[in-house]
Amino acid sequence: MSNNTFLISDLHINHDNTWKLFKNNDGSPLRPFSSSEEMTETMIERWNNTVKEFDKVYVLGDVVINKKHLHLMEKFNGKKVLIRGNHDIFKLKDYTPYFYDVRGVHVLNDMILSHIPLHRESITTRFKTNVHGHLHGNRVTIDTPNGKIIDPVYFSVCVEQIDYTPISVDETRGKIEEQRQMYPDYLI
């Protein structure tokens, strides 16, 4: 029996605009799909190939735009916790059939999980890293004398950043440590 913990954000299940209209900064499509069905089926397949029945998954917001698609969460493996995002606007009773817990933020050891990146002054030595969603293809950056760098106290788990596949907490910690080593002068 598996008991791993995973993170993911911004599924936007069956949301046409995420693949049809939204663009990256270079003008390319935000998501490389030709239909909402293809996008959703790809995410379900990648999720279920990674997450097993007893694994825990923190979904850091923006599950669906249209409530009629929320039932599709039953196709995703694992015990799911929703950290509400700006599009998770429905009543709690709408989410509880698919999520065993719904929260605004969650502290997971030395990480604070949120949908929208927290203000940098809110990320203290207690938390060290804000794992978040919301920014899709973008990252939180800092202006330095040598140009913009990725801010090492933030880590995005938007589906666009993690190949539409939940990322384990262990892998997340490894990637956070790589960021911290690249930019040690900009840590909390």
Q: What is the pLDDT of residues 17-40, one digit of tens each?
A: 888 888 888 888 889 999 999 999
Which helix (H) or strand (E) segment holds residue 141: the answer is: strand 141-144
Q: Give the per-residue SS3 of 86-108.
A: CCCCCCHHHHCCCCCEEECCEEE
Is the Cβ–Cβ distance between 1 and 54 less than 8 Å? yes
Mean pLDDT of the chain: 94
**Whether residue 1 has pLDDT greater than 70:** no
User: Does the 5-186 domain belong in CATH 3.60.21.10?
Assistant: yes
State the average pLDDT over residues 80-102. Answer: 97
DSSP H stretches of helix in the chain: 16-20, 36-50, 92-95, 169-182
State the average pLDDT over residues 56-64. Answer: 98
Is the Cβ–Cβ distance between 21 and 47 less than 8 Å? no
